[in-house]
Amino acid sequence: MKKKRLYSMLCAWLFSTLAIGGNISALPLIPASVLTASATETTDQGLQYEITDGEIRITGHTDDLPAAVVIPDEIGGVPVTGIGDNAFSWCEKLTSVTLPDSLTRIGVGAFAGCTHLTDITIPKNVTSIASPALFSYCDALRSIAVDPDNTAYASADGVLFNKDLTQLLRYPIGNGGTQYSVPDSVTA
């Protein structure tokens, strides 16, 4: 009885292997260039990043990231244009970050939970902030400055707005004020 059962299991395995193998050979061949990954994950000076289409997006950080971070305009001659979703989220030791002028977009929650981050300046070329929640739980954040040449965002009294000051995007919780008068221009 054991031999018959073993023989049945072996036949079932062999049949399934041949059936799958037959189906695989019927699939069209995909050129290796299509299978090549579009991004390369790399780490440099505590910054994790990927290179896609000739641009760098910061995707995270390592444990040896310094408390004061300076993100360069380029890494290895490739421009740093983005900070990915949650790239620095809950990096509680982060006290300051200098963002490069090459930066054009900042992802959702990029700095959320950076409880010791005190000040930040949005560079002139940033045109996309995925969500104002990028500074959620930044209890020490006193001020959000924006380069005056930025065409998408502005800052007034350390508060983040859209360029024409019609939308208040983020009030820094660590600013210490007990009251804030929202400008009359704000509609949302």
Return per-residue pLDDT of the chain as tens, 188 residues: 444 444 454 444 444 444 444 444 443 444 433 334 446 678 888 999 999 999 999 999 999 999 999 999 999 999 999 999 999 999 999 999 999 999 999 999 999 999 999 999 999 999 999 986 889 999 999 999 999 999 999 999 999 999 999 999 999 999 988 899 999 999 98
CATH classification at residue 115: 3.80.10.10
Interacting residues of 86 by C-beta distance below 8 A, sequence separation 6+? 60, 107, 108, 109, 110, 112
In a domain, 182, yes or no: no
In a domain, 78, yes or no: yes
In a domain, 32, yes or no: no
Q: Are 152 and 168 in contact (CB under 8 A)?
A: no
Identify the bridge partners of residue 168 per DSSP, sorted by sequence position: 161
| Residue position matching structure tokens 């299978």 | 35
Residue type, 6: L
What pLDDT score was predicted for residue 132? Answer: 66
In a domain, 23, yes or no: no
In a domain, 30, yes or no: no
- Got the DSSP string for 164-177? TS-SEEE--GGG--
Tokens of 148: 């005056």
In a domain, 103, yes or no: yes
Which structural domain, as residue segments, surrounds residue 82? 41-175
In a domain, 66, yes or no: yes
How many domains is the chain partitioned into structurally?
1
d(CA 51, CA 77): 11
In the chain, the N- to C-terminal Cα span, in Å, equals 78
Tokens of 185: 């221009």
Q: Are 113 and 137 in contact (CB under 8 A)?
A: yes
Tell me which residue of 98, 76, 91 sits closest to 137, measured CA to CA: 91
